[in-house]
Amino acid sequence: MARTLPSLMSPCDFYISGMKRPLGYFEATTVTADMKMVHFTFTSTATSGCARALYSFLTLDGAGGEGESVRGRTAVTAAVAGGVHGGHFGLEIGTGGSIAGLGVGLRATFMVPNSAMTGGSVYGGMSELFAEGSSSDISGTTAHAIHCFGLAGESTGRAKAQNVFAFTNLTTGTGATDMLNTAADADASTDGLRVIINGTPYWILLSSVAPS
């Protein structure tokens, strides 16, 4: 994909080839609570098009390399009692606001090219627990899971939510590779996937044999 350079110049408009050092570097420490190290506030009054507060575009043009357009890291070096996130995204509806189309708090997209792919393991999104070494032991935590689906907020408002998962455009049929197999039989389950619902363990029944 071609890189689109901005048509409007600004005091922070940098472009350089073969960069050796970062064009912008910030480092600071603070003891002030609720401090926003770098704060951006933008407002768009456009009635069409897509406004983006921040846009990052990384092109990997070297065979054998790897990369990330954005990488967020949070390191805990003290006994932190509050919530800690490597990255936190949210979508809010303000007074007078509404959404007629798609609205999600965080959207992950893997763009499948218009050609046949070979090799590699690809996913639209991924959550993982990563063990740093052989002494890593998460079993002593109050609760843990590879991914947590939470229903939060005020109790009356929470009670109006109805669905845990939503699947769209799934392939449906009776074959072993169909996403939704209509020939599945709960009595044929051979395994159980342990999950935690409201603090109580449950097992989602699975079958290692494809329905026929």
12-27: per-residue pLDDT in tens? Answer: 666 666 666 666 778 8
Domains of the chain, residue spans: 165-206
The average pLDDT across 150-178 equals 89
Chain segment 48-100, per-residue pLDDT in tens? 999 999 999 999 999 999 999 999 999 999 999 999 999 999 999 999 999 99
> What does the chain come to in residues?
212
Q: How confident is the model at residue 5 (pLDDT cuts 50, 70, 90)?
A: low
Tell which wins on pLDDT, 7 or 174: 174
What is the predicted pLDDT for the residue at 52?
A: 94
- Spell out the residues 6+ positions from residue 149 whose beta carbon is closer than 8 angstroms to its own: 164
Chain segment 102-141, per-residue pLDDT in tens? 999 999 999 999 999 999 999 999 999 999 999 999 999 9
Helix (H, G, I), strand (E, B) or coil at 180: strand
Listing DSSP states for 73-121 in one string gives -----S---S---S--------TT---SS---S--------SS---SS-
- 141-157 per-residue burial string, b: 16 or more CB within 10 A, e: under 16: eeeeeeeeeeeeeeeee
The tokens of 64 are what?
């054998």
Q: How confident is the model at residue 175 (pLDDT cuts 50, 70, 90)?
A: confident
Q: How many CB atoms lie within 10 A of CB 184?
A: 14
> How buried is residue 209: exposed, middle or buried, by Cβ count under 10 Å (0-12/13-18/19+)?
exposed
Model confidence at 187: pLDDT above 80: no
Global pTM value = 0.78
Q: Are residues 38 and 52 in contact, defined by beta-carbon separation less than 8 angstroms?
A: no
Closest-CA residue to 3 (of 23, 17, 21): 17
What is the predicted pLDDT for the residue at 6?
A: 55
List the single range of 7-11, 123-127, 138-142, 181-185 with lowest mean pLDDT. 7-11
Q: How confident is the model at residue 166 (pLDDT cuts 50, 70, 90)?
A: confident
What is the predicted pLDDT for the residue at 178?
A: 83
